[in-house]
């Protein structure tokens, strides 16, 4: 098969986009053009890997993407789901999936631990939190989900098979995914009938053939996801290693009473990765009309609790000797989720002074990947 390669290079992204041009397969049958991502073997110690799989509407237009953890270039999941979710949250803070998806909705797999930990409230409000089929709707989980819902997050139920077992989640669900690998036509018809009154949008998941796609359309599904659509991108993003010494200094400073913004800004100045996470989170909170460009302003917006969560999460995902840290510095549940207001007691007004990019670069001594200041209106899934 003929292949046209396009190399994509920047400081954060290391992938090759390969377009397979239309040609005959081994049986002589014409195949459609498709896109895939390939790349050289990269050391996972220097790169973070993840994949984005689009979710299409009836017009075959991508309306959202599912962000998937990857341990390397292999297009499959391996590892612990709780660790994978933490890493994907940190990846979002560090790299900004919205810059790769055109600001479309991003679905993220969530374990029970992630739902109750408070970490998910670090994500932008347009996130879709995908509850894994292994999560039981007990009281603690439901209370955490209701809190996240009140903050504006949407929910998707993954690999949905039993309305009875997942009844507690149905009132929260904005999307419900039904796996075509796990269900037959009759079972799906029964599920669709029972879910009709929930108001959730149904997603046909793991569509791999034309026949399955046509069946999904005929059965009444509105959104579709699977390898049949061929468009699936894997990324290797360059790591920005976190200094153990600087990370510990930040955490110890945050353990002290008060919120020493000047001292924290000086410490963050030594760690551009933490600075990037901080600036991205601050800009998510205030919106694109009021960009935040300095660490001090970002600290005022984000507050102590969220910064403590971000630094702890960054330490977890970057340091090999995480288990050697003192237990009090390995605790994620510092103060839970913020209130439903965009601005808690540690936040300030949106009328913040802004530094221009040249002044910001001089103040940090390093170039940061800033969140985009202008975007097209975000389409709703």
- The reply to whether 370 falls in a domain is no
What pTM does this model have? Answer: 0.74
**Residue 318 counted as domain residue:** yes
Residues 172, 69 share a domain: yes
Domain end marker among 208, 238, 268: 238
Residue among 234, 176, 210, 274 at smallest CA distance from 49: 234
Residues 69 and 110 in one domain: yes
The phi, psi pair for 167, rounded to 5°, reads: -55, -35
Q: Is residue 162 in some structural domain?
A: yes
Q: What is the pLDDT of residue 48?
A: 82
d(CA 356, CA 141) in angstroms, rounded, equals 43
Q: Give the Å distances, CA to CA, from 105 to 13, 18, 73, 102.
A: 21, 25, 24, 9
Mean pLDDT of the region 170-177: 95
Instruction: Judge whether 15 lies within some domain.
Output: no
Q: What average pLDDT does the structure give for the chain?
A: 76
Specify whether the backbone of 244 is left (phi greater than 0), alpha (psi in -120 to 50) or beta.
alpha
71 and 57 within one domain: yes
Q: Which domain holds residue 188?
A: 41-238
Q: Averaged over 68-73, what is the pLDDT?
A: 76
What confidence tens digit (pLDDT) does each residue in 231-249 have?
A: 667 887 877 778 888 989 9
- Asked if the structure places residue 277 within a domain, the reply is yes
Residues 233 and 248 in one domain: no
Looking at the structure, tell me whether residues 207 and 231 fall in a common domain: yes
- pLDDT, one tens digit per residue, over 12-55 is 443 433 333 333 444 343 333 222 233 333 344 678 888 899 99
47/168 same-domain check: yes
Residues 329 and 249 both lie in one domain: yes
Please check whether residues 214 and 260 belong to one and the same domain. Answer: no
Lowest-pLDDT choice from 23-27, 69-73, 134-138, 197-201: 23-27
User: Within this chain, do residues 92 and 201 fall inside the same structural domain, yes or no?
Assistant: yes
CATH number of residue 154's parent domain: 3.20.20.450
Chain centroid to Cα 213, Å, comes to: 27
Which residue, of 186, 206, 238, is where some domain finishes?
238
Give per-residue pLDDT as tens, 131-143: 998 899 999 999 9
Q: How many domains are there within the chain?
A: 2
- Looking at residue 235, what is its pLDDT? 80
Q: Which of 209, 238, 267 is the last residue of a domain?
A: 238
Q: If you average pLDDT over residues 70-85, what whole number do you get?
A: 73
- 371 in a structural domain: no
Q: Which of 41, 25, 7, 65 is nearest to 232 (CA)?
A: 65
pLDDT band per the 50, 70, 90 thresholds, residue 145: very high
The string of pLDDT tens digits covering residues 280-335 is: 999 999 988 889 999 999 999 999 999 999 999 998 887 654 555 556 555 554 34
Tell me the H-state helices in the chain. 81-95, 98-101, 112-117, 139-150, 167-170, 185-195, 210-219, 244-255, 261-268, 272-286, 295-318, 357-364
pLDDT over threshold 90, residue 127: yes
Q: How confident is the model at residue 98 (pLDDT cuts 50, 70, 90)?
A: confident
In a domain, 49, yes or no: yes
Strand partners, 105: 64
Position 2 in a domain? no
Domain check: are 109 and 257 in the same one?
no
Instruction: Flag whether pLDDT at 3 surpasses 70.
Output: no
Same domain, 63 and 95: yes
Asked if residue 212 and residue 255 are part of one domain, the reply reads no
Q: State how beta strands 233-238 and 201-205 pair.
A: unpaired
């Amino acid at each position: 098969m003929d292949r046209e390669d396009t190399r994509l290079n920047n400081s954060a992204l290391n992938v090759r986009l390969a377009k397979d041009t239309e040609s005959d397969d081994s049986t002589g049958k014409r195949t459609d053009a498709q896109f895939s991502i390939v790349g050289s073997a990269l050391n996972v110690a220097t790169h973070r890997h993840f994949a984005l799989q689009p979710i299409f509407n009836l017009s075959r237009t991508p309306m959202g993407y599912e962000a998937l953890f990857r341990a390397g270039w292999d297009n499959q999941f391996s590892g612990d789901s709780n660790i994978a979710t933490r890493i994907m949250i940190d990846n979002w803070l560090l790299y900004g999936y919205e810059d790769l998806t055109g600001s479309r909705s991003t679905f993220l797999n969530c374990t029970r631990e992630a739902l109750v930990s408070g970490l998910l409230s670090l994500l932008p409000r347009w996130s879709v939190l995908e509850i894994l089929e292994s999560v039981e709707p007990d009281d603690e989980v439901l209370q955490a989900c209701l809190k996240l819902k009140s903050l504006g997050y949407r929910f998707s139920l993954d690999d949905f098979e039993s309305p009875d077992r997942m009844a507690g989640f149905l009132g929260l669900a904005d999307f419900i995914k039904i796996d075509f690998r796990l269900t037959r036509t009759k079972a799906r018809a029964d599920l669709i009938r029972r879910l009709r009154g929930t108001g959730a949008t149904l997603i046909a998941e793991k569509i791999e053939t034309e026949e399955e796609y046509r069946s999904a359309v005929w059965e009444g599904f509105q959104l579709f996801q699977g390898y049949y659509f061929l468009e699936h991108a894997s990324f290797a993003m360059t790591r920005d290693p976190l200094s153990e010494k600087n990370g510990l200094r930040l955490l110890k400073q945050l353990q002290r009473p008060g919120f020493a913004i000047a001292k924290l800004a000086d410490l963050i100045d030594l760690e551009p990765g933490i600075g990037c996470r901080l600036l991205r989170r601050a800009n998510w909170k205030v919106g694109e009309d009021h960009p935040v460009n300095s660490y001090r302003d970002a600290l005022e917006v984000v507050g102590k609790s969220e910064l403590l969560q971000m630094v702890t999460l960054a330490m977890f995902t970057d340091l090999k000797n995480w288990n050697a840290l003192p237990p009090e510095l390995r605790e994620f549940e510092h103060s839970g989720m913020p209130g439903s207001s965009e601005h808690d007691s540690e936040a300030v007004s949106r009328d913040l002074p802004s530094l221009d990019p040249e002044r910001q670069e001089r103040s940090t001594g390093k170039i940061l990947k800033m969140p985009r200041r202008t975007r097209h209106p975000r389409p709703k899934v």
